[in-house]
Amino acid sequence: MARLVMKFGGTSVADIDRIRNVAHHVKREVDAGHHVAVVVSAMSGKTNELVAWCKAAAPRHDAREYDAVVASGEQVTAGLLAMTLESMGIPARSWLGWQLPIITSDAHASARILDVNADELVKGFKERGEVAVIAGFQGIHKETGRITTLGRGGSDTSAVAIAAAMQAERCDIYTDVDGVYTTDPRVVPKARRMEKIAFEEMLELASLGAKVLQVRSVELGMVHNVRIFVRSSFEAPDSIDPHGTPPGTLICDEAEIMEQQVVTGIAFSKDEAQVSLRRVQDKPGVAAAIFGPLADGNINVDMIVQNVSADGATTDLTFTVPSADYDRARDILTKVKGTVGYDRIDGATDVTKVSVIGIGMRSHAGVAAQAFKALAERGINIRAITTSEIKFSLLIDSAFTELAVRTLHSLYGLDKA
């Protein structure tokens, strides 16, 4: 029998009626002869409620106790779904992360999965025909025995890791959308759902603003070659042929995709801030003096642009940070002004990063040049540019976000079926 992992997010298990709907999705796959492991998130809104309780109890709380509290949301969902399946005559058992176990690092609230033991799940499939209902988002740090959580969206990562451990045929991510689109349909009504997308492209989309999957889940899928299928949980369970291909997007190895488009999708992120250091001393060690303290402050730096020094003495350095870290970044840079030797700091929070992604760029020249020309014709100024093998990103004024995304979406033919 084929093994299948099914993951359901918070909106899919928001109340008892939706949990029953999930149970019918699971029953369909069991009846089709699959061995099924289900990974669930907390019911919609519950994690936020638990986080608020932690802050109310102690604003400067212990991260280990925080994890003990917020991990409980998934425990409730797993138990309720297992009960519902049992009431439908389907053998089921709930599992918490520590019971498998899912071994993680000790970075509480943002732990990374180190190992997953799926032996008991496989034993349950073979001996009892049992559906395993697993609380996502959580694991255990082996040395301390403390519960850990994986960060927001961590249930996606749990699901892919479990799929890899039990050598599942596929990991189905059920969510409130029916797949991965060429861009945000709320910005571009003509955005299309993709049938397939390569791991590398999805990794770029997820890291550059697309909210469909957690970045680490895509990384795990790519490393372990776990095929991930993004689909909607709101389709009628009985209307889906378990042996067919329902609407959705398959994230897979590049080799499974017959012919790549030059551009696959457009992502954008408004959670960006620009920092520019003017007349920085142009000498060895300055970059380390700037970016070292930012790294020590756990501030992620993205786009970096350095102007060529005309006089050999000073230069301008521009980079982006998450908008939530903007004030903190300025404070850190102000403290190291004497070491770095810059004239002043300029900054802006009304900026957006727009990214164009596609594996086809590897074999096509002039893709970025087309974008520069099209945006110029629309009067959109580009503040900064970064490129890689399969993507390029542009920093623009936020006021032009929708116009830029629509322009690029049309430019590369993504409007067309």
Element (H, E) at 332: helix 326-335
Instruction: Flag whether 201 is in a domain.
Output: yes
Confidence (pLDDT) at 40:
98
Confidence (pLDDT) at 77:
98
- The 10s digit of each residue's pLDDT in 10-29 is 999 999 999 999 999 999 99
Least confident of 39-48, 124-133, 258-267, 272-281: 258-267
Residues contacting 189, CB < 8 A, separation 6+: none
Distance CA 2, CA 177 (A): 26
Confidence (pLDDT) at 271:
87
Instruction: Flag whether 260 is in a domain.
Output: no
Domain shared by 167 and 237, yes or no: yes
Confidence (pLDDT) at 59:
86
Cα distance from N-terminal residue to C-terminal residue, the chain: 36
- The 10s digit of each residue's pLDDT in 77-88 is 999 999 999 999
Res. 92 pLDDT band, cuts 50 70 90:
very high
pLDDT at 214 over 80: yes
143-147 long-range contacts (CB < 8 A, ≥24 apart) are: 143/106, 144/64, 144/106, 146/64, 146/67, 146/68, 146/106, 146/108, 147/64, 147/67, 147/68, 147/71, 147/97, 147/98
Domain shared by 118 and 173, yes or no: yes
CATH number for the domain including 130?
3.40.1160.10
Confidence (pLDDT) at 417:
59
Question: Are the C-beta atoms of 264 and 289 separated by less than 8 Å?
Answer: no
- The last residue of one of the domains, among 254, 274, 305, is 254
Q: Which residue has the higher pLDDT, 309 or 356?
A: 356
Mean pLDDT calculated for residue range 278-293: 89
Element (H, E) at 149: strand 146-149
Domain shared by 281 and 407, yes or no: yes
Mean pLDDT calculated for residue range 129-154: 95
Percent of the chain with pLDDT over 70: 99
Domain shared by 218 and 323, yes or no: no
Domain shared by 328 and 191, yes or no: no
Instruction: Flag whether 261 is in a domain.
Output: no
- The last residue of one of the domains, among 254, 285, 304, is 254
Distance CA 358, CA 201 (A): 6
Distance CA 117, CA 96 (A): 12
Mean pLDDT calculated for residue range 233-239: 85
pLDDT at 224 over 90: yes
Q: Is the dihedral of CA 322, 325, 329, 330 positive or negative?
A: positive
Domain shared by 166 and 301, yes or no: no
Domain shared by 189 and 211, yes or no: yes
Domain shared by 219 and 351, yes or no: no
Domain shared by 297 and 148, yes or no: no
Task: Give the global pTM.
Answer: 0.86
pLDDT at 312 over 80: no
What is the pLDDT of the chain when averaged over all its residues?
92
Domain shared by 216 and 273, yes or no: no
pLDDT at 245 over 80: no
- The 10s digit of each residue's pLDDT in 145-155 is 999 999 888 99
* Domain residue limits at 331: 266-411
pLDDT at 127 over 70: yes
Quickly list H helices, 111-246.
119-128, 154-165, 199-207, 215-224
Residues contacting 292, CB < 8 A, separation 6+: none
CATH number for the domain including 318?
3.30.2130.10
Confidence (pLDDT) at 260:
72
- The last residue of one of the domains, among 254, 279, 295, is 254
Instruction: Flag whether 286 is in a domain.
Output: yes
How many domains would you assign to the chain?
Answer: 2
Confidence (pLDDT) at 208:
80
Question: Are the C-beta atoms of 249 and 332 separated by less than 8 Å?
Answer: no
Res. 338 pLDDT band, cuts 50 70 90:
confident
- The 10s digit of each residue's pLDDT in 68-78 is 999 999 999 99
